[in-house]
Amino acid sequence: MTAGSAATVSPVATIESPAAPAASPGAAERGRPSRWRGRAGRAAGSAAVGVGLVGGTAVLWEVAKAAFDLDDRTLPHLWDVVAYLGSETSKGENYGMFLLNNLLVTARSAALGLLCGALLGVVTGVVIARSRLLGAGVLPLVVAAQTVPIVAVSPAMVLWLGTNWTTKIAIATYLTYFPVAVATAKGIQSVPGDALDLLHTYSASRRTVLFHVELPAAAPLIAVGLETAAAFAVVGTIVGELPFGSKTGLGVVILTSWQFYTIEPSALYCVALAACLLGGALVLAIRLLGSILIGYAPEGGSL
Amino acid sequence: MSTSDAVTDTVRAQSEASSPMVKPIPGLEAHQLTKRFDSRGEQTVALQDVDLTIAQGAFVSIIGPSGCGKSTMLRIFADLMAPTDGVAMVKGRTPHQARRDREFAMVFQSPNLLPWKSVLRNVTLPLQIMKLPKEEREARAREMLALVGLDGFESRLPHQLSGGMQQRVAIARALSMHPGVLFMDEPFGALDEITRDRLNLELMDIWQRLSPTVLFITHSIGEAVYLSTQVVVMSPRPGRITATIDIDLPYPRTASVRDQPRFYELVGEVRAALNDGQGRA
């Protein structure tokens, strides 16, 4: 179904272009780019590509299943996975709703973790960029902390902080912190010397330089760091929900689905897709927020 | 701080002692100004014992090949760099004090506008830092934008303007501070010749109206002669002043000045001085 809608997009573009030159050769050249010009056009184009990729993956799934003759336990039919959303849980609840409720629990922790990690990350990035001494000392530690496998420390964190939301937020914060800190530091270090000289001739305070020049200049890079961080935040939260003791969240649903995989494989695929959706939604939300807040075209400016 | 203040006093005392009348404080003054750079044991002398006095309200161009120290001198005056030796004065104050007093403004070779701020916000930025009330800074910014012919462009973003218009915004931004001294580091160097000529005319007009002291760095002989009351010729290794040529072209200098025989004579003089400096170096 999704593959079908993607297929209808490309013929429209190809059907119109051969028809136009017949009328006037110039009109085709002028007419074609304007179809894709502007934000709406580009967004529609990206959406079409996205839908096409999802559709393609779906087709590949079913083709692989048929080609390698995989049984339903190894790889269930996609429609069985989708249909499973409509089934009932042991408590008589609709499975789709059950999944959505758990997804919202995970989403809340991930979003809060992302927020904390982003704030801490920006502050660290500013410190790294501003002070050579502190930066040189802090950066290797930040990198080292990042290489600690979160699965290894999460049981300890559960012991310290308990199985409530603080652990999950702490893990999500920990994972989001690093990309934001590095992006902020790089962004601030990329501010051209002329801009800093200019502010120096104004006798501007460090605070003014930070808020009027450095942070706005670093904003596009920080936005990219935040997108990476958003995906990490979801993974981090789910990992935080895995250890024994948690009662809600996608991590818990994944754990129970593992146990019942041989009986009902569709459940695990449903949760996996839900986690993907959550990650994608969070990344897109961050990107949307970024494009609204950073409403200028950096490539055309003089900085 | 205190040592440089003491130096200020001695400089004043000397100038007062040399004549019975109190001499006006020069716009810019350099005394035995020297700047050396050390890089991996190798020493470059960017400026060697430079003496220079520029009267208030003068328009002085510095011309010379790359590496002659002209940018270094400007950066010392603008407190972006400390001299190795000697004294630089801006209206009788140390560059540091002059910067604190917002006595000067600087125009760079690149427009150096903040791309996320509108034209108006770019021009009001220094005034905001100077803590002027909002109405006053906007009124000043609009006035200066009108002066450089950009009224109606206040809400545009820098990337929506041409290179020449962006540099006009940069000039308006510098003028909005009402600076006593204006430093211009090859401001039109990146522009095409037609735009450069037009901006030269406009700058001449602005200077005649507001009469700040201008220190202007350029690579163009024609530009230097057309704009200046005085052209300072420098030569490299070590960076020093090799000639100072007074430009006695009449005011107001309109575009037709460039067609006068005297203009060509002066261009020839500056070129000869540049070649002399090269030969000796």
Query: Looking up tokens 């100038």, which residue turns up?
Result: B15
Q: Which residues pair with A235 in a beta bridge?
A: none
CA distance A201 to A207: 15
Tens-place pLDDT, residues B71-84: 899 999 999 999 99
User: What pLDDT is stored for residue B281 in this prediction?
Assistant: 43
The residues that bridge with B241 in the sheet, in sequence order, are B234
| Model confidence pLDDT, tens digit, residues B66-115 | 888 888 999 999 999 999 999 999 988 999 999 998 999 999 989 999 99
Selecting from A195, A219, A296 the residue whose C-beta is nearest the C-beta of B112 gives A195
Which of A198, A206, A210 best probes binding to B when mutated, by most B CB atoms within 10 angstroms? A198
How large is the average pLDDT for residues A55-65? 89
Length of chain B: 281
Instruction: For residues B187-216, give the mean pLDDT.
Output: 88
Instruction: Please list the residues that pair with B53 across neighbouring strands.
Output: B29
Contacts of A199 in chain B (CB under 8 A): 129
Average pLDDT over residues A234-241: 86
Q: Is B207 helix (H, G, I), strand (E, B) or coil?
A: helix
What per-residue confidence (pLDDT) applies to A180? 92
Of B102, B106, B112, which is closest to A302 when you measure between CB atoms?
B112
Residues of B in contact with A216 (CB under 8 A): 114, 116
Of A82 and B126, the structure prediction assigns the larger pLDDT to B126
Instruction: Select the residue of B105, B113, B160 nearest A201 (Cβ to Cβ).
Output: B105
User: Residue B115 pairs with which residues in a beta bridge?
Assistant: none
Chain A residues with CB within 8 Å of chain B CB = 192, 194-195, 197-204, 208, 212-213, 216-217, 219, 294-303
- Which residue does chain B place closest to A209, by CA atoms? B129
In A, which residues are within 8 Å of B166 by CB distance? 302
What mean pLDDT is predicted for residues B217-236?
91
Closest Cα of chain B to A232: distance in Å?
Answer: 29
User: In chain A, which residues have their Cβ closer than 8 Å to the Cβ of B130?
Assistant: 202
In this prediction the pTM is 0.76
Triad A47, A53, A58: Cα angle to 5°: 125
- Identify residue B280 by its one-letter amino acid code: R
Contacts of B108 in chain A (CB under 8 A): 194, 197-198
Length of chain A: 303
Report the C-alpha gap between B31 and B29 in whole angstroms.
7
Contact between chains at B110 and A194 (C-beta distance less than 8 A): yes
Which residues touch B230 (CB under 8 Å, ≥6 apart)?
B54, B58, B59, B60, B61, B244, B245, B246, B247
Q: Do B80 and A203 touch (CB under 8 A)?
A: no
Nearest residue to A138 (alpha-carbon basis) of A115, A121, A150: A121
Strand ranges in B27-141 using DSSP code E only, listed in sequence order: 28-39, 42-54, 59-63, 85-90, 104-107
Cross-chain Cβ contact B80/A212 below 8 Å: no
**Minimal Cα distance from A295: which residue of B?**
B116
Q: Which of A195, A203, A299 is closest, CB to CB, to B99?
A: A203
Q: Which is nearest to B218 in space by CA: B66, B50, B41? A: B66
Give the tens place of pLDDT for each residue, A93-122. 888 888 888 899 889 989 999 999 999 999
Would you say residue B18 has pLDDT above 70? no
What percentage of chain B carries pLDDT values higher than 70? Answer: 90
Lowest model confidence (mean pLDDT) among A154-158, A215-219, A282-286: A154-158
CB-CB neighbors (< 8 A) of B99 in chain A: 200-201, 203
Contact flag B159-A302 (C-beta cutoff 8 Å): yes
Query: CA of A34: how far to CAs of A14, A40, A48, A291, in Å?
Result: 15, 11, 17, 22
Cα-based torsion angle of the residue sequence A255, A256, A258, A262 in order, rounded to the nearest 10 degrees: 180
CA–CA dist B231, B270 (Å, integer): 8
Among A194, A203, A301, select the one facing B100 at the smallest CB separation: A203
B83 φ, ψ to 5°?
-75, 155
The ipTM value here is 0.84
Provide the pLDDT confidence category of residue A301 given band limits of 50, 70 and 90.
very low
Residue tagged 């649903």 (tokens) = A253
pLDDT in tens, A126-167: 988 888 777 778 778 877 877 888 778 777 887 888 777 788
Q: Which of B79, B106, B159 sits opposite A301 (nearest CB)?
A: B159
Do A212 and B126 lie within an 8 Å CB cutoff? no
